[in-house]
Amino acid sequence: MQELDDKGLRKHAAAVVRLLRKAYPEAECALKHENAFQLLVATILSAQCTDERVNQVTPELFKRYPAPADLAAAKRTDIERIIQSTGFFRNKAKSIHELSQRLTDEFGGRVPQDIEILVTLPGIGRKTANVVLGTAFGIASGVVVDTHVHRISQRLGLTKEDTPVKIEQDLMQLLPKKEWIDYSHRVIHHGRQVCKARRPLCDQCSLAKNCPRVGVSPDSSD
């Protein structure tokens, strides 16, 4: 694909959005949760960990501590024991324990629906805030940029940037706001199933005709 001007790039992005919508019409967040608080905790646990592993530990965690007040009152060592297999468990336990205390003391146990407030809470960065606002509340505060969105947006030629913040800025400029939430869900599914990191399955890809395969070596997609 030749270098595109701004109009051409927007047209390309629109085509990508249509193809993703057709391929993954029901795509949703893979982290199991029943409310915004559970999703917030699960997203913190998902750092440097698979969603599958998180989904294995959260049932026990949420059964014992279903609300922020319950986690706030828990012993941190008990939280660590439950989440140990997610990695970096001491830091994660500290974050969700302090987060639960803040939610209980300052917000009546409710998750704020404001990204500027969310990112000031323990363990929450812009990515986590975007996940929770988009999935739990339907608020398009930005575009979630995880490793799949990072990799695939570059391969599709939607960004030349290499940091999540700058990639998100590019995507927010290119994509209609109404697509911000679903774009990430669909790209994450696509990354797990088809556009894999080491050996993308380009011959099985519904986006192949629209993909310039930026950074993909010719033999990596055999």
| Active-site residue list | 127, 146
89's enclosing H/E stretch is helix 89-107
Between vectors from CA 181 to CA 176 and to CA 183, what angle results, nearest 5°?
A: 70
Q: Which stretch of DSSP H or E encloses residue 118? A: helix 115-118
- For residue 162, how many other CB atoms are within 10 A of its CB? 9
For residues 86 and 47, give the distance between their C-alpha atoms in angstroms, rounded to a whole number.
8
Is residue 78 within a helix (H) or strand (E), and if so which, with residue range?
Answer: helix 76-83
C-alpha–C-alpha distance, residues 179 and 145, integer Å: 14
Inter-CA distances, 209 with 156, 199, 205, 220, Å: 11, 18, 9, 17
